[in-house]
């Protein structure tokens, strides 16, 4: 594997040293170049081509979100991961909106987190580039006429399809005389997409849209679905203005759709566990907070979970074993939760759960159920070791007076802090305007 060229823009020598030794400990092949300002970064780029930029926001010649914007303006194709001392959800979202691929809180940096963030950012940037290239190719194909052509004679409902059009679906003109009617064509369209096509045709037919355009799926001859982009316009109407003939073109956009789906997955899911990432989890929490504000009889439980002594697992068994622990941990939690519950990975070994329509008693029961399941769980390692882990959990409820959806996460985190400092492997509750307390023992 080619070494990763890492450009670190950080004015604090201590923080730069942490990144240097963390990357070194990760074992990943890399070349690190460290500069202390945006001006120095510009000079460094004359003889160094980075694959990734690790960016501190507070530099001698730039501060805050403007730092991200300046780097993204200068280097549009190089992914940026922000290193920040702010463990603040709103601030983190601002950095992502400014163009950063990811962010890491400096106090949470370890080899596994840093390397995963770097690889994720590079992978997503490459996916975006491929998607852009796919869209440019599609535009060029449309402009150059490299498309399947069709004609629909609407009065007789005859559909004339060119060879290229039929080849998209695995057919030739000699296969089916029956294809020369729209009923056959309609039968190949995915049932969920058929209403979209009819609405688009109707909008163009009534003059509400200047052209007919639609993206939809059609069944290939061998059974799989092909994504189609279709565009057309009415070229003939009768004396009463009724559409008589429509012509158009068709493009296979299956690869573009696949890239869009993959990019969406990268943007919303944690690549290691497959769980919602921090951003999507916070959005889910915000939706539940909205439900709470609209329904006074509604309650929402929130749990914060952290694997006990996870650093010891990485140090003793290696980061591959740590990754396996995270995967098994996530799967075990998923199996124990309801379909309506939302589990997310916030970063590192920290996870959170939103429990819709759940009061405090239900939240504490759910937390204890998860704690017991993790305590009983065993993680098989490559050397045959069956690794046992435990989890500490903080539990709370959302309140209308929180003013923001992550207020409950702050309280749950305080409960988690108490659980850690009370011996770990336990559930602690932290309520609004109340002191943290151990969960009462159940009979």
Question: How does pLDDT run across 344-398, given as a tens digit for each residue?
Answer: 999 889 999 999 999 999 999 999 999 999 999 999 998 888 999 999 999 999 9
Q: Is 159 found in the same domain as 293? A: no
Question: What does the alpha-carbon distance between residue 223 and residue 362 come to, in Å, rounded to a whole number?
Answer: 46
Question: What does the alpha-carbon distance between residue 115 and residue 32 come to, in Å, rounded to a whole number?
Answer: 13
User: In the 3-class helix/strand/coil scheme, how is 193-209 assigned residue by residue?
Assistant: CHHHHHHHHHHHHCCCC
Residue with tokens 């305007």: 433
Q: 3-state DSSP call for residue 11? A: coil
* Dihedral sign computed on CA atoms, order 240, 245, 247, 250: positive
Instruction: Give the number of domains in the chain.
Output: 3
Question: What does the alpha-carbon distance between residue 429 and residue 302 come to, in Å, rounded to a whole number?
Answer: 10
Q: Give the pLDDT score at 435.
A: 46
CATH of the domain at 292: 3.30.70.270
How many CB atoms are located within 10 Å of the residue 12 CB?
Answer: 15
Q: Give the pLDDT score at 443.
A: 33
Q: Give the pLDDT score at 72.
A: 86
* Residue 443 included in any domain: no
* Residue 80 included in any domain: yes
Where is the domain boundary, 258, 283, 313? 258
Q: Give the pLDDT score at 168.
A: 76
* Residue 142 included in any domain: no
Angle between helices 254-268 and 111-144 (to 10 degrees): 150
For each of the chain's 443 residues, which pLDDT tens digit applies?
Answer: 678 999 999 998 988 898 888 888 878 888 999 999 999 999 999 999 999 999 998 899 998 889 888 888 888 888 898 888 776 666 777 887 788 888 888 877 877 778 888 888 888 777 777 766 665 665 555 455 557 788 888 888 888 877 777 777 888 776 654 456 778 888 889 999 999 999 999 999 999 999 999 999 999 989 999 999 999 999 888 888 899 999 888 888 888 888 877 776 666 788 889 899 888 898 888 889 988 988 888 999 999 999 999 999 999 999 899 999 999 999 999 999 999 999 999 988 999 999 999 999 999 999 999 999 999 999 999 888 899 999 999 999 999 888 777 789 999 999 999 999 999 999 999 986 544 444 444 33
Question: What does the alpha-carbon distance between residue 232 and residue 185 come to, in Å, rounded to a whole number?
Answer: 16
Length of the chain: 443
Q: Is 223 found in the same domain as 242? A: yes
Q: Is 101 found in the same domain as 61? A: yes
Asked if residues 122 and 251 have their Cβ atoms less than 8 Å apart, the reply is no
Q: 3-state DSSP call for residue 285? A: helix
* Dihedral sign computed on CA atoms, order 314, 319, 324, 328: positive
Q: Give the pLDDT score at 323.
A: 93
Question: What does the alpha-carbon distance between residue 22 and residue 115 come to, in Å, rounded to a whole number?
Answer: 9
Quote the tokens at residue 195.
Answer: 């209403």
Q: Is 420 found in the same domain as 289? A: yes
Q: Please state the φ and ψ torsions of residue 315, each to the nearest 5 degrees.
A: -70, -35
Output 199-202 pairs: Cβ under 8 A, ≥24 positions apart: 201/246
Q: Is 326 found in the same domain as 236? A: no
Output 216-220 pairs: Cβ under 8 A, ≥24 positions apart: 216/189, 216/190, 217/189, 217/190, 217/193, 218/168, 218/169, 218/188, 218/189, 218/190, 219/169, 219/188, 219/189, 219/190, 220/169, 220/170
**What would the DSSP string read from start to end of 41-92?**
HHHHTTT---SEEEEES-BTTB-THHHHHHHHHH-TTS-EEEEES---HHHH
Asked if residues 351 and 330 have their Cβ atoms less than 8 Å apart, the reply is yes
Q: Is 310 found in the same domain as 361? A: yes
Q: Is 428 found in the same domain as 298? A: yes
CATH of the domain at 123: 3.40.50.2300
* Residue 175 included in any domain: yes
Beta bridge partners of 429: 395, 437
Q: Is 202 found in the same domain as 326? A: no
CATH of the domain at 206: 3.30.450.20
Residue with tokens 């409820």: 397
Where is the domain boundary, 75, 102, 136? 136
Q: Is 169 found in the same domain as 34? A: no
Q: Give the pLDDT score at 442.
A: 37
Q: Is 207 found in the same domain as 123? A: no
* Residue 141 included in any domain: no
* Residue 81 included in any domain: yes
Where is the domain boundary, 191, 226, 258? 258
* Residue 190 included in any domain: yes
User: What's the pTM?
Assistant: 0.51
Q: Is 426 found in the same domain as 284? A: yes
Q: Give the pLDDT score at 137.
A: 63
Q: Is 338 found in the same domain as 425? A: yes
Asked if residues 325 and 373 have their Cβ atoms less than 8 Å apart, the reply is no
Q: Could you tell me the residue range of the domain that residue 232 belongs to?
A: 147-258
* Residue 263 included in any domain: no
């Amino acid at each position: 594997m080619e070494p990763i060229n890492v450009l670190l823009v950080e004015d604090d020598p201590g923080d730069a040293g942490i990144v240097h030794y963390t990357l070194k400990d990760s074992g990943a092949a890399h070349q690190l170049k460290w500069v202390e300002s945006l001006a120095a970064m510009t000079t460094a780029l004359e003889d160094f081509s980075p694959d990734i930029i690790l960016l501190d926001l507070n530099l001698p010649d730039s501060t805050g979100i403007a730092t991200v914007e300046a780097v993204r303006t200068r280097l549009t194709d190089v992914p940026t991961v922000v290193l920040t001392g702010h463990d603040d959800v709103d601030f983190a979202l601002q950095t992502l909106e400014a163009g950063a691929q990811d962010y890491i809180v400096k106090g949470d940096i370890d080899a596994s987190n840093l390397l995963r963030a770097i690889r994720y950012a590079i992978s997503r940037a490459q996916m975006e580039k491929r998607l852009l290239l796919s869209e440019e190719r599609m535009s060029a194909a449309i402009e150059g006429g490299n498309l399947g052509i069709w004609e629909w004679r609407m009065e007789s409902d005859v559909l004339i399809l060119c060879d290229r059009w039929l080849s998209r679906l695995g057919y030739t003109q000699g296969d089916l005389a029956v294809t020369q009617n729209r009923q056959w064509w309609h039968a190949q369209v995915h049932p969920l997409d058929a209403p979209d096509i009819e609405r688009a045709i109707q909008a163009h037919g009534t003059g509400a849209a200047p052209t007919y355009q639609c993206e939809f799926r059609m069944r290939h001859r061998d059974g799989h679905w092909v994504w189609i982009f279709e565009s057309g316009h009415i070229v003939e109407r009768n004396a009463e203005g009724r559409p008589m003939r429509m012509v158009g073109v068709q493009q296979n956009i299956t690869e573009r759709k696949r890239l869009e789906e993959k990019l969406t997955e990268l943007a919303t899911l944690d690549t290691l566990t497959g769980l919602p990432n921090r951003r999507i989890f916070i959005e889910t929490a915000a939706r539940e907070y909205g439900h709470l504000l609209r329904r006074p009889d509604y309650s929402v439980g929130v749990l914060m979970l952290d694997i006990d002594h996870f650093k010891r697992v990485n140090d003793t068994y290696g980061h591959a074993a740590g990754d396996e622990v995270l995967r098994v941990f996530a799967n075990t939690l998923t199996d124990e939760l309801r379909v309506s519950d939302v589990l997310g990975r916030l970063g590192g070994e920290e996870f959170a759960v939103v429990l819709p329509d759940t009061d405090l008693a239900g939240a504490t029961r759910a937390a204890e159920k998860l704690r017991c399941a993790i305590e009983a769980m065993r993680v098989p390692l490559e050397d045959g070791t069956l690794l046992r882990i435990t989890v500490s959990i903080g539990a709370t409820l959302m309140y209308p007076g929180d003013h923001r959806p992550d207020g409950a996460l702050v309280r749950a985190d305080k409960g988690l802090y108490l659980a850690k400092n009370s011996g770990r492997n336990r559930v602690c509750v932290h309520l609004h305007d109340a002191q943290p307390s151990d969960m009462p023992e159940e009979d």
